[in-house]
Amino acid sequence: EVLLEQSGGEVKKPGESLRISCKGSGFIFSNYWIAWVRQMPGKGLEWMGIMFPGDSETTYSPSFQGQVTMSADKSISTAYLQWSSLQASDTAIYYCARHRGTAATPRWGFDTWGQGTLLTVSS
Amino acid sequence: DIQMTQSPSSVSASVGDRVTITCRASQHVSAWLAWYQQKPGKAPNLLIYAASSLHTGVPSRFSGSGSGTEFTLTIDSLQPEDFATYYCQQANSFPFSFGPGTKVDIK
């Protein structure tokens, strides 16, 4: 079974750093694009960026460029999303999602999603 | 960057109804468009990719059409489990982007 398992919810203070994880199983992790998506409370989906663990190619949405860092350790089939200094506005659910196929360009949608990591940033 | 819009933002419908949701892109995206369903407290689920291809396991009452800048998702004979929020997402060029969502609720 193809799965993405995300790390648990976090409660942090403004200015703190954080790294959340997304572990894949049931597929060859390095062959699939992995995207990160934000959903703020009661709001819609926002595409944050995407990376290809095989060669670490990464593209960020301009809205998130410089605000977060995406990385992956393909040896343990895990992708990461990292903040160096959290803000209250980072409070949201963060999803990782796997591209539907192994194409060089991820045009076919995202067919496997993690369960989401709820991040709460509050003083 | 490509901006996505959806209409309507919400629709009230009854079981058995046909529901059509429209998604528009600010630029041409060819057929690189996906549709997702999201229920409260759950991750999204892929319904349609490449504008009109039904993802594995998705009921045939869901269908997608369109190309270029205008797309539609149609749900034939709405079922109780279909009450949810639906999002389109363009996959033509980075940064990918989602539409704002259409909530389908019970009339």
Structure tokens at B26: 């600010």
Nearest Cα residue to A122 out of A91, A84, A79, A85 = A91
* Residue of B10, B49, B86 to mutate, testing the A interface (most A Cβ within 10 Å of its Cβ): B49
Q: Could you count the other beta carbons within 10 Å of the beta carbon of residue A98?
A: 23
pLDDT digits (tens, 9 = 90+) for A76-104: 999 999 999 999 999 999 999 999 988 88
* Nearest residue of B to residue A45, measured between CA atoms: B98
Residue that has been written with the tokens 């959806």 in this structure: B6
- Residue B81 CB partners (closer than 8 Å, separation 6+): none
Structure tokens at B44: 């999204």
CB-based contact B28:B68 (threshold 8 Å): yes
Q: Nearest CA of chain A to the CA of B21: how many Å?
A: 16
Largest CA distance in chain A: 43
Provide the pLDDT for residue A60. Answer: 97
Provide the pLDDT for residue A104. Answer: 83
The CA distance from A15 to B14, in Å, is 48
Does B54 touch chain A if contact means CB atoms closer than 8 Å? no
CB-based contact B73:B47 (threshold 8 Å): yes
Nearest Cα residue to B45 out of A24, A45, A41, A10 = A45
Kindly state the DSSP code that residue A106 receives in the 8-state scheme: -
pLDDT digits (tens, 9 = 90+) for B28-81: 999 999 999 999 999 999 999 999 999 999 999 999 999 999 999 999 999 999
pLDDT digits (tens, 9 = 90+) for A9-59: 999 999 999 999 999 999 999 999 999 999 999 999 999 999 999 999 999
For residue B107, pLDDT over 90 is answered with: no
For residue A105, pLDDT over 90 is answered with: no
Structure tokens at B87: 């999002």
The CA distance from B31 to A114, in Å, is 26
